[in-house]
Amino acid sequence: MPSKDFYATLGVSKDASDDQIKKSYKKLAFKYHPDRNKGDKKSEEKFKEINEAYQVVGDPEKRSQYDTYGSSGFDGSGFPGGAGGGFPGGGPDLEDLINDFFGQGRSRSQRTSRNTRPKGRDLRYELILEFEQAVAGTEMNVQVRRAKTYKTCNACNGTGQVNFSQGFMTMRQGCGSCGGVGAFP
């Protein structure tokens, strides 16, 4: 199977920025969207190709793999090389598969990048200033009162998950002390 050039599909160069790739994708997806081209099979196929290309080069991790190994490692399943290969050391992480099976469907990268602190609502503040101040970019200090401070959960060390062993297997589950949040008010 010949290697696909996802950059050419999106009409960008290999060194294009993420913003350039996204802009080109949106333009092409709009142009070839099936709702805009009802019954046109060529447009539908082109739209699918554009989506496939953007799923790869629009994701920094997949883009890096694509730049290194080409399109042969992607089969549309979301995993390089299908269920197990295509790339050295390839395939999905075993821990991710086990977590998916046991209902903790977050990948390692999602778990480690997750903010363990509860997120608050957006704050709104009405500020009155003169037009000249706004145009000049005047900076002003605003005092924000926080309702609560949070204490890190000692049972899970703020991760929201604890390890437990059953026989020879070690598994992770949500922390029972903090309810999986990782902190207490």
Going along the chain from its start, the domains and CATH numbers come out as 6-73 (1.10.287.110), 94-184 (no CATH)
Where does the chain have alpha helices with state H? 6-10, 18-32, 41-57, 60-69, 94-101, 108-113, 131-136
> Over the stretch 32-76, which tens digit does the pLDDT of each residue have?
988 888 889 998 899 999 988 899 899 888 888 888 877 666 654
Q: Is the pLDDT of residue 121 over 80?
A: no
Closest listed residue to residue 91, CA positions, set 103, 101, 83, 99: 83
pLDDT of residue 25: 92
User: What predicted TM-score, i.e. pTM, was given to this entire model?
Assistant: 0.42
Over the stretch 109-119, which tens digit does the pLDDT of each residue have? 444 444 445 55
Phi, psi for 183 (deg, rounded to 5): -155, 165
Residue 41 in contact with residue 59, Cβ under 8 Å?
A: no
Which of 102, 91, 92 lies closest to 171, judged by CA?
102
